[in-house]
Amino acid sequence: MTSCRRAHSRKRSAARHLDEADALADRTVVVDRGVVAAEGTPDACKRRYGGSAGATLQDTFLAITGRGPVPADSAPVAV
């Protein structure tokens, strides 16, 4: 969930693309399995959970949730 401020208005939206949330959000909330796991500005979350402000939100999300990236499916696709 992200919150963006523009000219005295707020917009809340869910973002699955974390690079987009990093660029647009004033605040970020990480919800893992229905529970708020972390919240704050993107930079604050990256420093606290990702190790530095230079970390990506993807790295930060993985550190917060304790899960690794989902491996690509190597099974052949039947057409």
CA distance 3 to 73: 33
CB 3 within 8 A of CB 11: yes
Question: pLDDT of 34-73, one tens digit each?
Answer: 899 999 999 999 999 988 888 998 889 899 998 776 666 6
Domain count, the chain: 1
Helix/strand/coil for 14: coil
User: Does the residue 70 lie in any domain?
Assistant: no
Helices (H), the chain: 18-24, 42-49, 57-65
CB 1 within 8 A of CB 13: yes
User: Does the residue 35 lie in any domain?
Assistant: yes
Predicted model pTM = 0.65
Radius of gyration of the chain (CA): 15
User: Does the residue 76 lie in any domain?
Assistant: no
